[in-house]
Structure 1
């Protein structure tokens, strides 16, 4: 999410007031990276349960926390390894109730086990830690804690840690491949403030001493999606009756100072957007918990069942709130389906972004879908492939200096559109649904979260269609340059030929409109031709079904001072 939001950075900085401490200590370089290779010890365990008790102390911009992590060994292992920011002071570490020796030099904590674990053995690691966590220099793009103040002067606090990882908040294995089976959260805040978080609400307890604990439980959460949100919130709640037969709650926590009419108008979009996603992809993945949104002092982030919303109810002529819709898309593309590696991040961002023009059409017709797609093509960079085919860190992918950057959003969406135009709506729907749920017939209760890669998606598309679309994935995803469609005229014949960045064969069929009549030109071997009468008006790809280099867009992009 953090890269695409950069286009609104200037607006956000001008309109969002935050109380940040620029002089705060810095986390290590290791901690500020995420999605790095796991150690052998980390690969030899799974996390069955995380129990987090976190007291948030606004006056000190600090937390006081205890984390208990229950592991099961999947292979023999002699020590436990987790990540935790060195900004925290660790007061106690124990394994199964016994004090343990530990080190945490750069933020990768190694804990000695009293005895080695055999495959199938379980153990519980307890870590007590406290201190001032990293302050986000520019959330959500440069993450950490946001210590802000609501219009009424109350504390307004949020976390946004996608780019830097879960170790800014809790001791974890900082990899998308290390999702815990369950996380229980006990968030203690000053009485009078609310603390909505991930999963199901298990009740709150007022301790009578000025502090109240809010309890939550979430199944299979994405590691960076565990989120703190604290503020003087009012709440809107309603039940959503799904087209799949189940019912689950929708919640929106918004500042009490907001215009109630604006909050109600945004909340009214929830069921409309849910119905679109359920019709287009499949059942809401977390219907046994909730669909939740919370207003935050930063622009937004896809926190599982508690998406952050900071768009300030802006209208932009789309007919829907784009931020709400984009973050909701990540419940499917990011939280239900999680990338196997950052190199596959376009499965989150590209497919999620494609849901916006599809939703524009769902609401208001083709004109609005095509408007959004055209704007996306103008914003392409085409400097790096969307997918490299090698393991990457998030920074290498999201930063345009080293990787595709915003192209994982916009180019990914345009590639998805061309794929849908090529294989048809029915096959595209089946392929995407199978990608997300692991089956083409998802129903509430018959699926669980899963990891996916780009080769997985290709295999699914091939299985659904009965054809090999390796050429499509290679030509679009694994090449930086857009395919070029050359046109030649010899007498009454229009010749067409494709050239891709790597020179590979690209048999993408092309529609040609001749005096208002559309015909499809097969491009066997990447070449084709069609008869064109003299004086006829010819329009290649009249419905813009095919992603390709357009000279007029490139000329516009190259204009000085644009």
Structure 2
């Protein structure tokens, strides 16, 4: 019986050209050599996967880098073809359903960000260094992968680059060794991670040790930013304590903030890491809500990752609501005041966004962030504080390092409600219809 070729897409309609069927990845081992001056990347990726069907052919996502060699289970591939962002591989021996297999890909080139409907994504040169920002579909600019948020894997990332540069990547720094003018950094991310959250940051950075409890927190940033940073991020430790109390234990081994020497339009979250631009550091806490937003993504987005991009409000609505929770905690406007202001703004904008299925064009629309946060605030009003925050802690605990959907959150929320039907109706009105429902008056909290 002949095996089936794996599908060339994993079927996410928001990013139809990315992701692949027929297998699930267990681990990525990336060995990268990067030269900053010439933007030259040479890589070897070792991908361990399990076939979910018999495979006579399978595909990986890889953009414009050049492939030199492909082998499967130690044998040179029967053949491979690399075109239109896909690396198609025909193994010399068919892979049986359920079998674990190992793919080695050697590749090189000058990495560059990929054009997308959401701007340029992936590996990008800074004035002096590198930023990698891949959400939702930029991972293939720097390594061959199954670029789908639902396929989470273990990562070991080795990067050799010029010694003046400091490297930050996901997970624990296992080793760092210098030979001549080059330094090799090895990072291990044991917690399952989606491809879009894998990152490498390279720059001439100083490292600050910010805290050791309840979570190790560090910052990597240009020396010129240190003074303002200490003011702007001075309350991050208090945010961490608040979020651990409200959301449950921090899900990873540590948290690193990177500040680039270049301005960035928006900060970027990665697993265990957040990246801010020089413009987010002003010495006046001008971007403090973003500090809270990016930290909250470690729970909502990074540990609990959307099964498909349709569910992105579970990332952004929660992170936006976390900004309001921090504001409330730190003496700013309450979450109710933020919800009321956001509602008044939304009421004056087009009402064509369905939160539970916004479509690719609107998945990063600010209305999704704000309407998602208002929805959570109304659930909080309906349940009362004790039940609402117990719901959030149960949500993060039961889905830790997993993939989540809107239906799963609604189902869990109803178990915390005195009136499950009323909670379902609330979600239906706010998530499934483009029209903005009336904003209920705040009732007394139980």
Tell me the TM-score normalized by structure 2. Answer: 0.87
Pair 1:139–1:462, CA change in 2 (3 A): closer
- Distance in structure 2 (CA, Å) of the matches to 1:112 and 1:136: 26
Matched, 1:477 2:446: no
Pair 1:370–1:316, CA change in 2 (3 A): farther
- Tell me the residue number matched to 1:454: 406
- Tell me the residue number matched to 1:334: 301
- Tell me the residue number matched to 1:325: 292
- Distance in structure 1 (CA, Å) of the matches to 2:366 and 2:140: 25
- Distance in structure 2 (CA, Å) of the matches to 1:257 and 1:140: 31
- Distance in structure 1 (CA, Å) of the matches to 2:314 and 2:57: 34
- Tell me the residue number matched to 1:373: 339
Q: After superposition, give the CA deviation of every residue in 1:305-347 in whole Å (9 maximum; x if it has no partner).
A: 12112243236777x7122211111100101111122111101
Pair 1:141–1:373, CA change in 2 (3 A): farther
- Tell me the residue number matched to 1:223: 195
How far is the alpha carbon of 1:130 from its aligned partner?
A: 1.1
Q: After superposition, give the CA deviation of every residue in 1:107-166 in whole Å (9 maximum; x if it has no partner).
A: 1221112222234422111111111222478999532333223xxxxx232111213331
- Distance in structure 1 (CA, Å) of the matches to 2:221 and 2:292: 17
- Tell me the residue number matched to 1:291: 255
- Tell me the residue number matched to 2:74: 97
Aligned partner of residue 464 in structure 1, secondary structure: coil
Q: 2:177 aligns with which of 205, 215, 224?
A: 205
Q: Which has the larger radius of gyration?
A: 1
* 8 Å contact kept, 1:88–1:132: yes
* 8 Å contact kept, 1:476–1:482: yes
How far is the alpha carbon of 1:477 from its aligned partner?
A: 0.6
Q: 1:147 aligns with which of 119, 125, 128?
A: 125
Aligned partner of residue 37 in structure 2, secondary structure: helix
- Tell me the residue number matched to 1:314: 282
* 8 Å contact kept, 2:69–2:106: yes
- Tell me the residue number matched to 2:33: 55
How far is the alpha carbon of 1:435 from its aligned partner?
A: 2.2
How far is the alpha carbon of 1:58 from its aligned partner?
A: 1.9
Matched, 1:396 2:350: no
How far is the alpha carbon of 1:463 from its aligned partner?
A: 1.5
Tell me the TM-score normalized by structure 1. Answer: 0.70
Aligned partner of residue 465 in structure 1, secondary structure: coil
- Distance in structure 2 (CA, Å) of the matches to 1:140 and 1:327: 19
Uncovered stretches (5+) of structure 1, i.e. residues with no partner: 1-29, 150-154, 243-247, 400-404, 439-446, 486-509, 511-540, 546-562
Which residues of 2 match residues 249-268 of structure 1 at below 5 A?
249-258=216-225, 260-268=226-234
Q: 2:152 aligns with which of 179, 200, 203?
A: 179
Pair 1:213–1:302, CA change in 2 (3 A): same
* 8 Å contact kept, 1:35–1:174: no
Pair 1:193–1:199, CA change in 2 (3 A): same
- Tell me the residue number matched to 2:60: 82
- Distance in structure 1 (CA, Å) of the matches to 2:392 and 2:116: 34
Pair 1:143–1:321, CA change in 2 (3 A): same
Uncovered stretches (5+) of structure 2, i.e. residues with no partner: 1-9
Q: 2:129 aligns with which of 142, 152, 156?
A: 156
* 8 Å contact kept, 1:46–1:72: yes
Please provide the CA RMSD for this pair. Answer: 2.7
Which residues of 2 match residues 184-199 of structure 1 at below 5 A?
184-199=156-171
Matched, 1:427 2:379: no
- Distance in structure 2 (CA, Å) of the matches to 1:425 and 1:136: 43
Matched, 1:359 2:326: yes
How far is the alpha carbon of 1:420 from its aligned partner?
A: 0.6
Matched, 1:214 2:214: no
Aligned partner of residue 257 in structure 1, secondary structure: helix
How far is the alpha carbon of 1:34 from its aligned partner?
A: 6.7
Aligned partner of residue 330 in structure 2, secondary structure: helix
Deviates more, 1:128-137 or 1:222-231: 128-137
Aligned partner of residue 358 in structure 1, secondary structure: helix
Pair 1:89–1:70, CA change in 2 (3 A): same
Pair 1:542–1:45, CA change in 2 (3 A): closer
- Tell me the residue number matched to 1:271: 237
Pair 1:397–1:436, CA change in 2 (3 A): farther
Q: 1:167 aligns with which of 140, 154, 164?
A: 140
Q: After superposition, give the CA deviation of every residue in 1:422-460 in whole Å (9 maximum; x if it has no partner).
A: 11112211222222221xxxxxxxx74111111111110
- Distance in structure 2 (CA, Å) of the matches to 1:240 and 1:35: 39
**Number of residue pairs the alignment of both structures matches:** 423
